[in-house]
Amino acid sequence: MATLIDRVRAYLRSPKGRANVEKAKRMARDPRNQQKARRFLERFRGRRH
């Protein structure tokens, strides 16, 4: 039986997986998404302290 990590690796090597990785990279370069991520992390870190 394949482990979860093996299954993830296989997906990332598939055409659909590679397309999703590229989409995520494009989204990560968007300044609006970067700001959203920063705000989320600030809220997340603020709750823990």
User: Mean pLDDT, to the nearest integer, of 32-41?
Assistant: 95
Both tokens of residue 19?
């397309």
Predicted structure pTM score: 0.65
Q: State residue 2's pLDDT score.
A: 80
% pLDDT > 70, the chain: 92
What are the distances in angstroms from CA 41 to CA 20, 25, 34? Answer: 23, 19, 11
Q: Would 11 be classed as within a structural domain?
A: no
How many domains does the chain fold into? Answer: 1
Q: Which residues contact 11 (CB under 8 A, 6 or more apart)?
A: 17
Q: Which domain holds residue 32?
A: 22-49
Q: State residue 39's pLDDT score.
A: 95
Q: Would 27 be classed as within a structural domain?
A: yes
Q: Would 1 be classed as within a structural domain?
A: no
Q: Would 32 be classed as within a structural domain?
A: yes
Both tokens of residue 22?
């590229």
Q: Would 2 be classed as within a structural domain?
A: no
